[in-house]
Amino acid sequence: MPLNVIKHEPSQTADAVIIWLHGLGASGNDFVPMTEHLRFDSANIRFLFPNAPQLPVTINQGMVMPAWYDITDISIDRTIDSKQLRQSAAEVHALIDEQIEKGIDSQRIIIAGFSQGGAVGYEAALTYPKALGGLMAHSTYFATASDIEPAKANAKLPLLIQHGTQDPVVPESLGRKAVDELTQRGYPVTYQTYPMPHSLCLEQVEDMKRWLADRFA
């Protein structure tokens, strides 16, 4: 079933897209306020905020909630349902395909993801068969690092990875581990940390704006 998506159109014809994936138990509405912060003279951005499907989550006593995939163990390395994660990534690919069909250049499409959404973001962006504009990964981890099959088209995909140094949910060590893994594979990574828990902060948003301005130049 296609994802339910919250859409925010620019005042002029869209020529760029940001697809933003929320975290576990949240919704696409969480990041709608970013449309007010991320505005550029060089881009008319269409924002897409997909809502994750409703799934039972093992670590939450099997409670059904918005989730991109099941997490069966919350240990430092996390045990997840990789098949569900990749199905979610495939749904993101379908959204990208739809935007390209509407006339958006693939290299002006940015994937962003927070926490669980960021794990899907890694898989979706790095395996997409056409060159994308970039990936923003917030307070997340590279869940499929051991068996991902990256696409050559995105071998040099620009990555912005941001993490809170006081994150009790996804430890910052997992953010650094992703940076190490991706740097070793040759991806251009920008890594930034902030004295915050599992959240976003204003300084971080300002850094996003600067990074995105380069992507949309």
Contact call for residues 19 and 106 (beta carbons, < 8 A): no
State yes or no: is 81 an active-site residue.
no
Of the candidates 81, 180, 198, 199, the residue annotated as catalytic is 198
11 is catalytic: no
Q: At what angle do helices 82-101 and 116-127 cross, to 10 degrees?
A: 60
Which tokens belong to 172? 């910052």
Per the CB < 8 A criterion, the answer to whether 52 and 68 are in contact is: yes
Annotation says 167 is catalytic: yes
Q: Which one of the listed residues 88, 106, 115, 139 is annotated catalytic? A: 115
Q: What values do phi and psi take at 8, rounded to 5? A: -130, 115
Angle of CA points 75, 77, 79, to nearest 5°: 75
Helix-then-strand count for the chain, H and E: 5, 11
Beta strands in 77-185 (DSSP E): 79-80, 109-114, 134-138, 159-164
Active-site entry in 70, 106, 138, 167: 167
The catalytic site residues sit at: 115, 167, 198
